[in-house]
Amino acid sequence: MNNESYLTFALGKGRLAKNTLKMFEKIGITCRQMEDKDTRKLIFVNEDLKMRFFLAKGPDVPTYVEYGAADIGVVGKDTLLQERRNIYEVLDLGFGKCNMCVCGKEEAGNLLKHHEQIRVATKYPYIAKDYFYNVKKQTVEIIKLNGSIELAPIVGLSDVIVDIVETGSTLRENGLVVLEEVCKLSARMVVNQVSMKLENKRITKLIEDLKKVL
Ligand code: PRP
């Protein structure tokens, strides 16, 4: 197989990939190999379109794209802000909309107003650091966790958290509230910087086609 003639896509596993494939279908990009739910294959090819697709963990998508192992990636803006890779962000795909927020118990709101030295638990230390140090000018201690972030203020690990809020039900069910909004998030298309030059025609057409169905 001559890799150079294939456009390779890295898609964030799960809902992100499903929504991406649905959107791609609207512009005539399909991959039948991916429809087989029982397959253990990792990479799927559409020979007619000369396109290859693979699924990766969200935080790994920008890595594959930066190194050129994938020409194009689809990943959440939260992951892009956290991973800070040298890649082009070319399109807001409009799905996977949610907010990055500072959350905690209602009374923790006072700690934010008075710029106290507080503990912040998060899966996104760069985003939290940027927000507290550069935007709010508040000195904080960041504690990196890998999931179930809402636990931290409940069990007393941290004063607040910086985390994604989508429906708000995880917060509600755990007696927590949104205290401040950090930024809005959604799925983004990213492109390798060299691929953007070498495959400019195909990639530009893809972006233009997608814009029409957004
Ligand atoms: C995410 C996020 C929140 C939750 C927000 O967690 O970290 O916990 O979803 O969604 P909601 O506002 O609709 O309740 P995810 O389910 O990805 O798992 P994690 O807690 O292990 O990170």
Q: Quick one: which of 198, 154, 146 has its CA closest to 173?
A: 154
Residue whose CB lies within 8 A of the most ligand 1 atoms, among 165, 170, 173, for a mutation test: 170
Residue 178 DSSP symbol: E
Write down the pLDDT at residue 2.
Answer: 46
Write down the pLDDT at residue 33.
Answer: 84
The pTM of the full predicted model, rounded to 2 decimals, is 0.93
Write down the pLDDT at residue 4.
Answer: 54
Distance in Å, CA 144 to ligand 1 centroid: 15
Q: Quick one: which of 171, 17, 31, 169 has its CA closest to 95?
A: 17
Distance in Å, CA 199 to ligand 1 centroid: 36
**Distance from C-alpha of 178 to C-alpha of 34, rounded to nearest angstrom:** 38
**151-210 tens-digit pLDDT:** 999 999 999 999 999 999 999 999 999 999 999 999 999 999 999 999 999 999 999 999
Distance in Å, CA 42 to ligand 1 centroid: 26
28 lines ligand 1 (CB under 6 A): no
200 burial level (CB within 10 Å; 0-12, 13-18, 19+): exposed
Write down the pLDDT at residue 26.
Answer: 96
CA 168 to ligand 1: nearest atom = 12
**194-206 tens-digit pLDDT:** 999 999 999 999 9
CA 163 to ligand 1: nearest atom = 7
CA 165 to ligand 1: nearest atom = 12
Q: Which residues pair with 101 in a beta bridge?
A: 163, 181
- R_g (Cα) of the chain, nearest Å: 20
**Distance from C-alpha of 22 to C-alpha of 27, rounded to nearest angstrom:** 9
78 lines ligand 1 (CB under 6 A): no
Ligand 1, atom 5, lies closest to the CA of 165
Write down the pLDDT at residue 41.
Answer: 87
Write down the pLDDT at residue 1.
Answer: 42
Q: Which residues of the chain are modeled with pLDDT < 50?
A: 1-3
Going along 77-137, which residue ranges are E strands? 88-92, 98-104, 118-122
